[in-house]
Structure 1
Amino acid sequence: MAELTTATGPEEAVAASADEAPATVTPETVALRKVQGALAKPAVVKTARAMSLFGEHAGGWLAIGAVGALVDRRRRGEWLTAAAGVAAAHAASIAVKRVVRRRRPSDPEVQVLVGTPSKLSFPSSHATSTTAAAVLYGGLTGKKLTPALVPPMMVSRLVLGVHYPSDVVAGSALGGAVAWGVRRFMKRRRNRG
């Protein structure tokens, strides 16, 4: 406020107060605050952290693909192709992050409740690889995994304060697009076979 008392004219006073104004709060920041306020209870945060660890670098999903390939010998190649699709989806999300370069949430009212390997936010790699895994592994198991796996992972990233809503939506869309391409490839191979 010292700058305001030294300003000599109305234009200078307005400029000084504008310099001190807080950063603009976007609707996504408000949404993130609300999700954390409603859901960031100890048990939920503990679960979200476990999900974060499982999904880090798509590691848990890749391990499931490897187990599928070991157990289901008849479709080993399909499991390995699906796991490669999950890896490709994760790599695509990293590539997009490096182009977009959106920073993770830094609002003082948003708690960051888990560590992250980078400061980049868009898209969510966890949402990307989870969606790809749900679509690809669901196709192999004959189960609809997407509704059970994707929304909880998306919400967990918001609860932990490391993504905006558009990050998880875009990540899920990217994962779905990659999985769709991989499923088409797998179907063509199967039909040739």
Structure 2
Amino acid sequence: MAEVANDSVNPDISLLRDINGLARHAPRGLDRAVQAAGEYGIVAVSVLLAAWCWWRVARRRSEADAPGAVAGVLWAFAAAGIALLVNIPVRALVQRPRPYAEHDGLDVLVHSGHHYSFVSDHTAFTAALAVGVFMVSRGWGTVAILLALAEGFTRVYLGVHYPTDVVGGFALGAATALLLAPLGLALLTACTRRLAATRARRLVHAPAAAPHLPTAPGDHPATPRHSAADKGLAA
């Protein structure tokens, strides 16, 4: 990929400098927090959110709907992993150097070695996971998408990716989750339906127990009424 000599006429590099420039004026503690979030934190929270969604659908969905919903959450995890695998040949084909290897004056908070820049692994993973969760739950999926957007922002803030690396990560993650969903969901739904018929069925359908209703003061457990004939028999 040819290097653009004049950064000011390249919107990708201009936006990189604008976002990364925030790190130069931010307190050191904020930089540390963004570094932790961008490297591991947001990814970990996204995974936990998807696991929470699994637990919710297993408890809230009906016995008939739960296998399909759980398969959808499993597909979110699978799509995230597949997106990382697909990115290996994409990076090898594009071979885009890291921003700090091509441009001076960046405030680089994380050095990622000699790995190529396009596309962002972190963004592809969180985007695929978010789209998969969104297919199961609009509410939790929206939260997951916001986390993926935050992950993309932190990667540029840290100086390890161009904005287009992040956009490419979103595209790769979303495309993986959506385009392969029919096949992935068909296979996983068949597995969850079989699992629901085994002793491990609570992984697929674990309805919440009915709440215990306390008795009011003065109430007594109902006792069966006896007929006159019963009384006579008792006598």
TM-score, normalised to structure 1, is 0.71
Q: 1:71/1:151 Cα in 2 relative to 1: closer, same or farther (>3 Å)?
A: closer
One-letter code of the match for 1:169?
Answer: V
How far does residue 166 in structure 1 lie from its aligned partner after superposition? 1.1
How far does residue 72 in structure 1 lie from its aligned partner after superposition? 4.8
Give, in whole Å, the separation in 1 of the partners of 2:184 and 2:29: 40
Counterpart in the other structure of 1:83: 77
Unpaired stretches in structure 1, ≥5 consecutive residues: 1-22
**Greater share of helix:** 1
One-letter code of the match for 1:24?
Answer: A
- Asked if the contact 2:72/2:185 (under 8 Å) is kept, the reply is no
Counterpart in the other structure of 2:181: 183
Counterpart in the other structure of 1:122: 118
**Match for 1:155 among 153, 156, 169?**
153
One-letter code of the match for 1:96?
Answer: V
Q: 1:95/1:70 Cα in 2 relative to 1: closer, same or farther (>3 Å)?
A: farther
How far does residue 184 in structure 1 lie from its aligned partner after superposition? 3.4
- Asked if the contact 1:135/1:145 (under 8 Å) is kept, the reply is no
What is the aligned length? 169
Give, in whole Å, the separation in 2 of the partners of 1:37 and 1:117: 21
Unpaired stretches in structure 2, ≥5 consecutive residues: 59-65, 194-235
Q: Does 1:133 align with 2:129?
A: yes
SS in 1 for 2:182: helix
Counterpart in the other structure of 2:20: 36
**Runs of 4 or more consecutive aligned structure 1 residues displaced over 6 Å after TM superposition:** none
Q: Give the aligned CA root-mean-square deviation in angstroms.
A: 3.1
Give, in whole Å, the separation in 2 of the partners of 1:71 and 1:150: 21
- Asked if the contact 1:62/1:87 (under 8 Å) is kept, the reply is no
TM-score, normalised to structure 2, is 0.60
Q: 1:118/1:71 Cα in 2 relative to 1: closer, same or farther (>3 Å)?
A: farther
Give, in whole Å, the separation in 2 of the partners of 1:83 and 1:187: 12
Counterpart in the other structure of 2:169: 171
* Higher gyration radius (CA): 2
Q: 1:117/1:83 Cα in 2 relative to 1: closer, same or farther (>3 Å)?
A: farther
Counterpart in the other structure of 1:100: 94
Give, in whole Å, the separation in 2 of the partners of 1:95 and 1:48: 29
How far does residue 120 in structure 1 lie from its aligned partner after superposition? 0.8
Give, in whole Å, the separation in 1 of the partners of 2:50 and 2:35: 22
Moved more, 154-163 or 62-71: 62-71
- Asked if the contact 1:88/1:178 (under 8 Å) is kept, the reply is yes
How far does residue 24 in structure 1 lie from its aligned partner after superposition? 2.0
